[in-house]
Amino acid sequence: MKPLLNPSFRKKGAPKRSSWANLPSVSDLPDEVRAVIRKQVWWQTTLLVIGFITVFAVLGALFVGVGNTPDEMYSDAQIAPVSSPLFLATLSHLVNAPVEQGGDITLLNNGDEFIPALLKAIGQAKYTINFSVYIWRDGIFSKQVLDALVTKQKQGVKVRVLLDGFGSKEIPDSKFSDLKEAGGRVEKFRTPQFGKLTRFHRRNHRRAIVIDGRTGFTGGMAVGNEWLGHAQDPEHWRDMMFKVTGPAARRLQAAFVSSWAGSSGEILGASDTYPIAAETSGGEIEKFIHIVHSPAADHHSMANFFLTSILAARNTLYIVTPYFIPDKHLETALVKQARAGIDVRLLLPGKHIDASIARASAQSNYEELLQAGVKIYEYRPTFIHSKFMVVDGRWSIIGSPNLNTRSRQLDDENAFGILDSHFAGQLVKSFMSDLEQANEIKLDEWRKRNVFVRFIQRAARLLDNQS
């Protein structure tokens, strides 16, 4: 039997010591450290040690879930194309969400299309309005929405608003006083609380606005003046929302009620929240999967939702996202598909992005992607905040997630995967139109960037993977 300690570490004939005895004693420490210890009262030293341990423990708790994924992702067979029933079966079982059909979907470009549609739907509400977005900022848009919600609450419609504890930090609670006084409910998701700080950075990033359980809105937009207008200047963002009806709206309700129960304590079980399925059947959507995602340390279904869809591509793969921070699995999949001859295109923000570190982090991946044949474009006029993917002109993914670490591993998200050629065609048309206002990144030119820029991009990538 091998000794627990290497014999060379003790003098010949000396008694064996436990491993604890091999730890350095105070006499082994440098003179400077021993001098500091001698000057400190014992309780001061104890508090100092506890402080260091606490800092490292908190940092570890904050980021223990980030990066906790397998070293390699692979499949037992080639992922079936999106036109195959096997693709939907694979994806449905992988993310534990059913394949459904029915309902209609309408693409709404920028605030000029979304805001009138939203206010009209609110104005037509008869029973319930459940409203959840990540960002809520004070301003013109906020006043329009709150005035409409107060009016409906006074008419007897049950209004519930779920604010994210971080995303709504810029609007005073007093702005919701009129709604509360009228009987409306306003709750916050994960506000800073003693004893729960290690969960504060995990946010509710979902977009789920559902009216009477029959009409819903999801996508990239929220409540803030940057979503007013039609992306006419750098102060007004390019974005999309999607209006869904019927079964799709009924499924969107799940993204609200689960977060609402955890934040307010109220379990929504009334019939006006869940219309009978027969009343909302029909519609043009061929097939869809709606995923409601709350990531755990070893369960990242949203990442697998995107990864499987990418691997299903056979001809074209078009992606637009405001924050592109791929993990190794996503980047490997994009490289693989591009090298296989698939037309892979990424539309990303240019200089008007709201987080420069996120852009620099995204750019650190450009060279490898460009070498593989991926085409990368940066949008010029303003910050592009749209989020969608289209595979082979038939399968589309829309909703709240970004292609970054937060959406994969930290934040609560929701997304639709929609199998519908007509809807996919609308997204492709919008994608191609936005490409006309974007600069294509060329590999030869990209390689000429200076050493300092390369360093900033690599540093940003390290930092942003933990953001």
The string of pLDDT tens digits covering residues 194-245 is 444 445 456 889 999 999 999 999 999 999 999 999 999 999 999 999 999 9
The answer to whether residue 34 sits within a structural domain is yes
Same domain for 458 and 347: yes
Same domain for 160 and 308: no
The answer to whether residue 55 sits within a structural domain is yes
Please give the share of the chain, as a percent, with pLDDT higher than 70: 82
d(CA 256, CA 185): 14
Average pLDDT, the chain: 87
Same domain for 367 and 231: no
* The pLDDT of residue 427: 98
For 33-42, 85-94, 147-156, 208-217, which range has the lowest pLDDT when averaged over its residues?
Answer: 33-42
Domain that holds residue 57: 27-63
Please give the share of the chain, as a percent, with pLDDT higher than 90: 67
Please work out, in degrees rounded to the nearest 5, the angle formed at the alpha carbon of residue 89 by the alpha carbons of 86 and 93.
145
The answer to whether residue 361 sits within a structural domain is yes
For 188-192, 193-197, 221-225, 354-358, which range has the lowest pLDDT when averaged over its residues?
Answer: 193-197
The answer to whether residue 17 sits within a structural domain is no
Tell which of 284, 299, 331 closes a domain. Answer: 284
- Give 289 or 76, the one with higher predicted confidence: 289
Q: pTM of the entire structure?
A: 0.84
Same domain for 114 and 44: no
* The pLDDT of residue 193: 53
Burial 383-413 (b: 16+ CB within 10 A, else e): bbbbbbbbbbebbbbbbbbbbbbbbbbbbbb
For 22-26, 412-416, 442-446, 448-452, which range has the lowest pLDDT when averaged over its residues?
Answer: 22-26
The answer to whether residue 4 sits within a structural domain is no
* The pLDDT of residue 54: 73
d(CA 279, CA 266): 26
Same domain for 366 and 258: no
- Give 199 or 300, the one with higher predicted confidence: 300
pLDDT reading at 298 higher than 70? no
Same domain for 92 and 37: no
The pLDDT confidence band at residue 25, using thresholds 50, 70 and 90, is: low
Tell which of 255, 284, 313 closes a domain. Answer: 284
Phi, psi angle pair for 381, to nearest 5° = -65, -40
Same domain for 433 and 347: yes
User: Number of folded domains in the chain?
Assistant: 3
Supply the DSSP symbol for 27.
G
Same domain for 254 and 204: yes
CATH number at residue 178: 3.30.870.10
* The pLDDT of residue 79: 96
For 64-78, 86-100, 162-176, 311-325, which range has the lowest pLDDT when averaged over its residues?
Answer: 64-78
* The pLDDT of residue 73: 84
State which amino acid sits at residue 238. R
d(CA 398, CA 61): 31
**What are the CA-CA distances from residue 220 to residues 31, 107, 143, 172, 303 (Å)?**
59, 12, 20, 23, 18
pLDDT reading at 92 higher than 50? yes
Same domain for 258 and 167: yes
Same domain for 216 and 146: yes
Same domain for 322 and 252: no
Other beta carbons less than 10 A from residue 445's beta carbon: 10
* The pLDDT of residue 212: 96
Same domain for 290 and 280: no
The answer to whether residue 69 sits within a structural domain is no
Tell me the range of 18-32, 257-271, 290-304, 450-464 where mean pLDDT is highest: 257-271
**pLDDT tens per residue across span 179-188:** 999 999 999 9
The answer to whether residue 244 sits within a structural domain is yes
Other beta carbons less than 10 A from residue 59's beta carbon: 12
Tell which of 258, 284, 310 closes a domain. Answer: 284
pLDDT reading at 4 higher than 50? no
